[in-house]
Structure 1
């Protein structure tokens, strides 16, 4: 089955070069040259992956990403002309799956594209089963209505905050969350940069759900960025 990519890049020479190469690699590429055009095309069709430049006219790439993440988990690979860790962290934190810094090689870009699409397909075919009342990831089952967690059939004694953190990751398996986003989602309050509260809750949660908390499998740390659900 042909995989369709939405390429969002305002530099038409780069867009043409990337589009032509990926087409030769067997992908169907639909191009957009500003954020508003990209949003319209996103709503009109379904895509297997989005290649997103951050510096876009009319609607910038970060705002575009925030809008689509409210409705879709389609893989997003950021094309960035800046190599700063802050920008990378921001992009991944808002729901991007990967990034590649300009200038890049076409071979590397195609490899990143294939890897991101493959990960998305693997997730959809994985052991994770979503039901109206339960979420199952590997050995852990979350009971949504009764606020319970079990591992291999045995109840895990979680606090309500720990349970909400685990649910956040189980419900969003491809998302990377910054500490600020975790705090907003779980505590539902403004975040003032107190990382210790997140660190303590994450450590206690890992002690309860991981076989080896020092080498966690369920919740992975992306240093300098945040956390994401592990792959099984």
Structure 2
């Protein structure tokens, strides 16, 4: 279903009331019902108890900053997040992407660009959810490692493994096509989206964290293998 047919639920997290007013006006143009909060603790509480289609998250907010909100939310939710901030240092952008933000835009920003990015992020999220629902199997069984796609649950020898949303999506994509090698740019495009061009190291970081959680021996992985000169693949011999 196209997301235009239903009202999108958007949460604005921003402590500058003038910017909040501006964002509310233009996000409503995307057929959205908009809510806003001005601190991180309120944002986290709302986002944990309601499913939003998009969160516009300012980095410098009181009580709990945007990075901390994103990090905590990513432990349980895959809600699309665009970080909005006045900071332009590269380290801030990289940090935002590393902890699971879907996109990043700096102030002052073009409203047209922000709306385009918001629509793109929501479309990618909608497509990813459909892709997960259309996966070849609702459960993948690799002996000790089992992946229940519908429940987003991973177990090893019956023990539940806690994965972040992006780690889970990476695992499902690779495990659905054992032996198929994906380049880092392909994984960025499928899992994160086109706006992440040039941030291939983000894939490496997530793959390393995924391996740390599912591999018996990080030095000799048996599930997620490296295809030298290309990227990564799921072991086709399991």
TM-score over 0.5 for the pair:
yes
1:187 equivalent to 2:212? Answer yes
Determine whether 1:66 maps to 2:71: yes
Taking the aligned partners of 1:18 and 1:89, their CA distance within structure 2 comes to 24
- TM-score normalised to structure 2 length: 0.63
1:144 corresponds in structure 2 to 142
Go from structure 1 to structure 2 and tell me whether the alpha carbon gap of 1:126 and 1:178 turns closer, same or farther (over 3 Å shift): closer
**What residue in structure 2 maps to residue 5 of structure 1?**
10
Aligned residues of 1:97 and 1:174 also touching (Cα < 8 A):
no
1:43: how far off?
2.8
Match of 1:163 in 2: none
Match of residue 206 from structure 1:
227
Q: Which runs of 5+ in 2 are unaligned?
A: 1-5, 147-166, 174-189, 193-199, 214-218
Structure 2 equivalent of residue 227 of structure 1: none
Q: 2:91 aligns with which of 81, 86, 94?
A: 86
Q: Report the CA distance shift for 1:168/1:97 in structure 2 as closer, same or farther (over 3 A).
A: closer
Note if 1:129 corresponds to 2:154. Answer: no
Match of 2:110 in 1: 105
Once residues 46 and 65 of structure 2 are traced to their aligned partners in structure 1, the CA distance between those partners, rounded to angstroms, is: 15
SS in 2 for 1:107: helix
Correspondence for 1:39 = 44
Q: CA deviation at 1:83?
A: 1.6
Residue deviations 1:130-155 (CA, integer Å, cap 9, x gap): 75641xxxxxxxx433569xxxxxxx
Q: Secondary structure at the match of 1:99?
A: strand
Unaligned runs of 5+ in 1: 135-142, 149-165, 189-196, 208-212, 220-232
Looking at structure 1, the residues matched to 208 and 30 of structure 2 have their Cα atoms a distance apart, in angstroms, of: 42
2:81 pairs with 1:76: yes
